[in-house]
Structure 1
Amino acid sequence: MINHLSIKNFAIIEDAEINFNKGLNIITGESGSGKSVVVEAMSLALGCRADSSYIRTGAEKAVIQMVAEYLHTEYVITRELSTNGKNICKINGEIVSLSQLQELTGKIADIHGQYDNQSLLDSSRHLDLVDKYEKNTIAPYKSKVSELYNSYREITARINKRQETLNELNRKKELMEFEYNEIISADLMPGEDADLTERLTEEKNKEKIYRGFEEAYNLCSGEESSILSHVNAIQSSLKDIKDISKDAAELEYEFSDIYYRLDDIISRVRRSKDRLSYSSDSLDDILGRLDTINFLKRKYGNTIDDILNYADKLKSEIGKIDNLDSDISSMLIEQERIGEMLKRTTDQLSELRKRSAASLEEKIQKELSDLKFDNAKVSIEITRMDKYTANGIDRAEFLISTNVGEPLKPLSKIASGGEMSRIMLAFKNIIGEYDGIGTMIFDEIDNGISGQTASVVGKKLLDISEKHQIISITHLPQIAALGNNNYKIIKESYGFTTNATIKHLTEHEKVEEIARLLSGDSITDVALENAKALINY
């Protein structure tokens, strides 16, 4: 609701203020008095493009200030136009962009007439009006569609992100699988490299080592003068006297232990000699195996343990990638399920919208007939878009034909300002209850009408004003007589200066103004009586 309008140095208005009220606010005035200037000022405050040519001659800037209420919050809206071309928008004293201003004012008021900020002319809002008309039926489906759409978008985004990750990982997976297979196929054993190095040393010195073991073995256990035979002879000598000599008994025991230990050592020498004698390993085999291990060390780690640990890590990463692929498959199934639900619910929503549109068409058609648009035809066209949105898949547009034989056209294509205003009045009388716009401003609504049609238009305005604030500029007494609050634009000249002021009329002044509208400048007693009768009608 608009509570107050202040106009300074704008066109022919030097300084004027209006306090608007609830209900039907009527503005009248003589031709050329500045009624259109007031509408232009309100239009500017509501976010229309600025034109510095409206700055009053001799002034450096024009200031339009509007006090309005939306959702129980009061806003002070200011527009300043300067001769230097600067255009400032403010909300509650804070400078804002024009788009920010329009976002707020688009919820506060509509201007219907020759101006371009009419919400009903914006086809992007038509679907919302259809939805609100059958809100109780449509809202649950609309909410469900929005929920499913967001879920579908979310899981699609997750799939795409997971797929991007998987694509990147799959490129790495090929390398990981190659490296893993390369390590596993080598069949490495912990400590194998140290063992091979020792065996390599042996293989390179095999003949020399064999001769050493063989010579040591012969010395230890040869048939002639072996160590073992000497120790055995010593043990036998001591055994003969151990019963008569304590020292001999102790020494015989120690030599017996030496004999068995030496026998064990000699066996080990023999086995080492025999292993060398019967080894099937070739120098080339050992060198080849060490080359394989050293190659893997250069690629994957400094030790065999490092290489095997790296293989375990590769196996784990490959498993994660395989699980990721499985996750995507599960998500694709879920995406399909949500997509089917979205399609089904969206189709149901579309059918409900078509029913709502048909009912709304019928009511608007009746309103147009009441406003003497006998040949008018209205249609609400519901079409499908090429993709889903949170609002479904439908697009709506209000189409109208005002004359027989003319095709249906979008509302924005209607040329006549007065005709447009009356058509908007018909629409607003139906959808005004739920479109959320608190104030409607009508200009030129009486253009080209008179008599009974004027009375019908006035009654429609009065009906709408029970739930919305109406501000209407008119020159017809039938409409002015119905005003809850009446204002008059008065233009006066002082020498070389012209100024327009705005006056809130008393009941007596209202009667006089309506009498003037009835009879012209000469107000007669008959005109005054007719004015009173029209007010009380």
Structure 2
Amino acid sequence: MLQELSIQNFAIISALDVSFGEGMTVLTGETGAGKSIIIDAVGLLVGGRGSTDYIRQGASKCVLEGQFSVVSDSPLVALLNDLAVDFEDDTVIISREISKSGKNACRVNGRLINTTTLRDIGSYLVDIHGQNEHQELMHAETHLGLLDQYGQQQIKALKSRYEAAYARYRETLAKVRNKQKHEKEFAQRIDMLQFQCEEIEAAELKVGEEAQLMEERHRLNNFQKIADGLTNSYEALTGGEVSSLDQIGFAMNELIEIEGIDSEYLEVSEAVKSSYYQLQEAVSGVSRMIDTLEMDETRIDEVEFRLDTIRQLKRKYGESEEQILAYFADISSELMESIEGENQSEKLETKLSEQEKTVKGLADELTILRSEIAKDLEAAIVKQLKELYMEKTVFEVKIEKELSFNETGQDKVEFFITTNPGEPLKPLVKVVSGGELSRIMLALKTIFSQTYGVTSIVFDEVDTGVSGRVAQAIANKIHQVAERSQVLCITHLPQVAAAADTQYFIEKQVKNKRTETFLKRLSEEERVLEVARMLSGDAITPLTKEHARELLALARRN
């Protein structure tokens, strides 16, 4: 329920603070006094589209604030918790600032939020219906939502099951269509992966192989130099009548004879002895190398071919053996998954078919249940319309099956009506007049007010185009809605004004050469004068005042 509303520098309102209570509150006043501006402010406060045009001339920004009371079990409480908005004492305070620069600052209980979130929160707080808003009835695409809203207690669980099943079906359908769409590219990708895997696998690449091959190539390219070096060194060490090695051996033996005389001789003897044995091993090594030395004329070609193969792999797949092998691991995994995915295609299509059957079954259940709800709604609407002096009206909810599924099922719903006996049913959007549309809308609101869940319902001149006993019936209906939800109503009808629990008078005044809108709560006697003005205009007579008192008294008795 909207408890407090504060408006600053909004259109022709410089500053306005007003309190609202439970039940039905009407706002009355001369045309152009600013009644609808107040409703516009409420609309902006709960997420309506903002504009710098709303800012009062000469001001830098407009500021709107509202305090709402919310019952603790309202779905709004869960939303506020999800948004981490502090919520205490069942109170929600919303503020919105629109500045000349276009900056839009929205806060809920002090927490800064965006307008989308504000709109979500506002949907639980205020339901605004004006001369334009009730045109939702004139759009057939809204009728399904209205039907489901009426029967939400019966249909909610089934709709949730359908929506979950439909979401799963859509997800699988998207996968199937995506695969079909990219089937050619998918096949080409598999072919490429297979080629690359085969090429790398056939190469049998090993980490460090390139370095080893380059060393081998270096040796092969220097074969003659190596052979000469080994032969010459062997000859130098072992050739001649007395070889170099033998000479060192003779020196070693001579030193062995004297090494026991002094430690200094022993040290020299040990050094020569070590050198002799090392040279002996070296000569044996050189001899073995000479024995095994063989020039393979074809090996150099093999090495060059292998190095070229590795260079080709590096050019395509990585800068090193490690990178090439890592790439091989990745594409092998992708190839396996792709092949498995290809094998899963049939399973995916089978899954889609099964999900489609499930969705179709739930959609059929929705159709059956909606048909039952439609009968109840038809009877309820007809009953309400009789009380609004449209007793000859025939109202029908037509449900047709569409070929494809959507988020709501497979149903197309449209309201049909005839207000004249003997005339065929025609789409509601084509046959009703403004006054009739107001009454049909009000009949729906009277029914739906039990299931709205919002704290406040606003009617902005929805009683246009009616008078007399119909106006009185509309007044009674609006008051009936106010028994379940707070109602704020702008009206030009004295019958509606008289039915209110609280009445505010809105007027324009010129102060300091500026037009301003002012709001005043009327006392009982002031209400008599205002209702009398609404009955007869400026010429208020004792008779019109008496008529006004009678209307107010009649409203209290009802």
> Which amino acid in structure 2 is aligned with residue 474 of structure 1?
T
The answer to whether the Cα contact below 8 Å between 1:45 and 1:66 also exists between their aligned partners in 2 is yes
* CA–CA separation in structure 2 for the residues paired with 1:379 and 1:292: 91
Question: How far apart are 1:317 and its partner, in Å?
Answer: 8.9
* CA–CA separation in structure 2 for the residues paired with 1:34 and 1:523: 29
Which residue does 2:349 correspond to in 1? 332
Which residue does 1:237 correspond to in 2? none
* CA–CA separation in structure 1 for the residues paired with 2:148 and 2:445: 15
Seen in structure 2, the aligned counterparts of structure 1 residues 493 and 370 have a Cα distance that, compared at 3 Å, is same
TM-score of the superposition, structure 2-length normalised? 0.61
Question: How far apart are 1:409 and its partner, in Å?
Answer: 4.6
* CA–CA separation in structure 1 for the residues paired with 2:472 and 2:22: 21
Question: How far apart are 1:426 and its partner, in Å?
Answer: 1.3
Which residue does 2:160 correspond to in 1? 143
3-state SS, counterpart of residue 168 of structure 2: helix
Over alpha carbons, which structure has the higher Rg? 1
Which residue does 1:29 correspond to in 2? 29
Question: How far apart are 1:464 and its partner, in Å?
Answer: 1.0
Seen in structure 2, the aligned counterparts of structure 1 residues 41 and 325 have a Cα distance that, compared at 3 Å, is closer
Query: Which of 534, 540, 543 is matched with 1:521 structurally?
Result: 540
Seen in structure 2, the aligned counterparts of structure 1 residues 532 and 482 have a Cα distance that, compared at 3 Å, is closer
Which residue does 1:471 correspond to in 2? 488
> Which amino acid in structure 2 is aligned with residue 431 of structure 1?
F
The answer to whether the Cα contact below 8 Å between 2:495 and 2:551 also exists between their aligned partners in 1 is no
The answer to whether the Cα contact below 8 Å between 2:402 and 2:410 also exists between their aligned partners in 1 is yes
Which residue does 1:422 correspond to in 2? 439
- 1:453 paired with 2:473, answer no
The answer to whether the Cα contact below 8 Å between 2:382 and 2:391 also exists between their aligned partners in 1 is no
How many positions carry a matched residue from both structures?
Answer: 423
* CA–CA separation in structure 2 for the residues paired with 1:318 and 1:33: 74
* CA–CA separation in structure 2 for the residues paired with 1:300 and 1:53: 72
Per-residue CA shift, 1:208-242, capped at 9, x if unaligned?
xxxxxxxxxxxxxxxxxxxxxxxxxxxxxxxxxxx
TM-score of the superposition, structure 1-length normalised? 0.63
1:73-112 equivalent positions in 2, closer than 5 A: 74-80=92-98, 82=100, 86=102, 88-92=104-108, 98-112=115-129
Cα RMSD (Å): 4.6
* CA–CA separation in structure 1 for the residues paired with 2:162 and 2:551: 56
Seen in structure 2, the aligned counterparts of structure 1 residues 337 and 294 have a Cα distance that, compared at 3 Å, is farther
3-state SS, counterpart of residue 66 of structure 2: strand
Question: How far apart are 1:147 and its partner, in Å?
Answer: 2.5
Judge which range, 396-405 or 479-488, deviates more.
396-405
Per-residue CA shift, 1:52-94, capped at 9, x if unaligned?
5665555555444333356355141325364xx7363523366
Judge which range, 466-475 or 11-20, deviates more.
11-20
* CA–CA separation in structure 1 for the residues paired with 2:94 and 2:333: 65
- 1:442 paired with 2:459, answer yes
- 1:357 paired with 2:357, answer no
> Which amino acid in structure 1 is aligned with residue 107 of structure 2?
I
3-state SS, counterpart of residue 410 of structure 1: helix
Query: Which of 365, 368, 381 is matched with 2:385 structurally?
Result: 368
Note the residue ranges of structure 2 that are not aligned, 5 or more in a row: 71-75, 77-89, 204-297, 312-320
Judge which range, 164-173 or 126-135, deviates more.
164-173
Per-residue CA shift, 1:89-129, capped at 9, x if unaligned?
52336666554544433443232223448766676654333
* CA–CA separation in structure 2 for the residues paired with 1:298 and 1:486: 96
Per-residue CA shift, 1:147-179, capped at 9, x if unaligned?
222333444456678887964663246537976
Seen in structure 2, the aligned counterparts of structure 1 residues 399 and 388 have a Cα distance that, compared at 3 Å, is same
Seen in structure 2, the aligned counterparts of structure 1 residues 420 and 16 have a Cα distance that, compared at 3 Å, is farther
Aligned-pair identity in percent equals 30
* CA–CA separation in structure 2 for the residues paired with 1:489 and 1:148: 53
The answer to whether the Cα contact below 8 Å between 2:507 and 2:519 also exists between their aligned partners in 1 is yes
> Which amino acid in structure 2 is aligned with residue 427 of structure 1?
L
* CA–CA separation in structure 2 for the residues paired with 1:97 and 1:137: 34
* CA–CA separation in structure 1 for the residues paired with 2:201 and 2:509: 100
Note the residue ranges of structure 1 that are not aligned, 5 or more in a row: 184-286
* CA–CA separation in structure 1 for the residues paired with 2:57 and 2:542: 34
The answer to whether the Cα contact below 8 Å between 2:139 and 2:429 also exists between their aligned partners in 1 is no
* CA–CA separation in structure 2 for the residues paired with 1:434 and 1:450: 29
> Which amino acid in structure 2 is aligned with residue 536 of structure 1?
R
The answer to whether the Cα contact below 8 Å between 1:490 and 1:502 also exists between their aligned partners in 2 is yes
The answer to whether the Cα contact below 8 Å between 1:8 and 1:14 also exists between their aligned partners in 2 is yes
* CA–CA separation in structure 2 for the residues paired with 1:121 and 1:350: 23
